[in-house]
Amino acid sequence: MKVIIVILLMLGGIISLYAQEKPLNIPKIKPLRDGVLSDSTLVSKSDFLRSYGGTLNPEPERPSRISVDFGIGENSFKSTYPRLIIPVAFITYGIMAQESHAMKNLDKSTSHEVGEHFTHSITYDNYLQFVPALSVYGLNIAGIRGRHRLEDVTVVMVASHILMAGTVNVLKNTTNVLRPDDSSWNSFPSGHTATSFVGAHMLFREYIGISPYMAFGGYLVSSATGVLRVTNKRHWVSDVVMGAGIGMLSVEAAYFLLPVINSVLYPNASKGRNRLAVAPSIGEGEYGLGMAYVF
């Protein structure tokens, strides 16, 4: 029960990101004519502008009309910083759990409770971890495009996995946390969960403006992966939370670095010369993805 509560809290935090991605629905202000609003309320043009902080943009063909421009665009509220709150919170929890006795006891009690209810391992987590990332390519191949070109998606995907794998392996080899099943000393953090959340967060970033079902579907699969890692006694809850944070933060870092990476991959992009090509490969009983880079 405890692990389910923790996962639900994680999902609740992730879903809160949706509010950060949606543009604010700011009502349009109708133009004034001779200082009269649509509800026939008399106002002074100068007083109206001072009250709302607008600017006066007279139209030459109709001197009596003005429009109000607040300088607020659709993308003004899509800052990167709000999206960092959830992964940073997950990572902070994972780090604190390595030092806090209360959090360590929570990990142990949860693992003990899980062991009483789940006596057989379910190894679907070995495959579920790749489903969100494959879904990104599956949607593109099906003609459902996200925010970026398939080439850019591939660059972000590769960069995210490199950042994630490097971080996970360094932590595994330096923290030396014993797994719940006593099999090895590389429990912290969960690599399966981190891998799964890389794909899930890319689904979110690419498809939140198209369909919330596509965007949040990956998080459900990733959360299931994390739950299975705990029920299979391969990881503590703190390992899973830390892995989720690393996966999401790696994606954010990769998107941030995308212009820099593209400047290296496409040094002559301004001249219309592309050097990286990505294309699906489908044959008899074979499916794959091909990449070619021209030096």
Strands, E assignment, the chain: 32-33, 65-66, 276-283, 286-293
Domain segments of the chain as ranges:
2-21+80-293, 27-71
pLDDT tens track for 145-175: 999 999 999 999 999 999 999 999 999 999 9
- Token pair of 204, please? 């979110």
What single string gives the DSSP state of each residue in 186-245?
--SS-HHHHHHHHHHHHHHHHHTTT-HHHHHHHHHHHHHHHHHHHHTTSS-HHHHHHHHH
* pLDDT tens-digit map of 201-242: 999 999 999 999 999 999 999 999 999 999 999 999 999 999
Q: What parts of the chain have a pLDDT lower than 50?
A: 18-20, 22-43, 48-49, 59-78
Contacts of 73 (CB under 8 A, 6+ apart): none
pTM comes to 0.69
221 Cβ contact list (under 8 Å, min separation 6): 128, 131, 132, 196, 200
Residue 37, pLDDT score: 45
